[in-house]
Amino acid sequence: MTLLTRRLSIHGRVQGVGFRWALGAEARALGLRGWVRNRSDGSVEALVSGTPEAVEALTAWAHRGPSVAFVERVLCNDDPVTETPAVAQGFEQRPTF
């Protein structure tokens, strides 16, 4: 099975609106592994790994986010990642970085 790992950087009104929780729920529903966290600059960052179709579906979702969010832009990076994105439990929320 081919896997894709993608780092997302989501900008806009994405903190204080349940974005991390909603992204995590969506990622788990799609069978993705990885993590999501708030950034001190006001953005949300996620590292996701799974089938290319599931990663693309989550990326499309991230452009909308939950109904109370306002997403201005989503930056994606599919370059090889030195960190192992797999989380034994599946998908986790991490502290603000």
Task: Map out the domains of the chain with their CATH numbers.
Answer: 4-93 (3.30.70.100)
Q: Single out the catalytic residue among 7, 13, 20, 64.
A: 20
Q: What does the alpha-carbon distance between residue 27 and residue 80 come to, in Å, rounded to a whole number?
A: 20
Looking at residue 32, what is its pLDDT?
94
Q: Do you know the residue count of the chain?
A: 97
H/E run at residue 53? helix 52-62
Looking at residue 49, what is its pLDDT?
92
| Catalytic-residue membership of 20 | yes
Give 14-65 pLDDT, tens digit per residue. Answer: 999 999 999 999 999 999 999 999 999 999 999 999 999 999 999 999 999 9
Q: Single out the catalytic residue among 6, 28, 33, 38.
A: 38
Q: Checking DSSP bridges between strand 33-38 and strand 91-93, what pairing results, if any? A: parallel
pTM of the predicted protein model: 0.89
| Catalytic-residue membership of 38 | yes
Looking at residue 89, what is its pLDDT?
64
Position 82 pLDDT exceeds 60: no
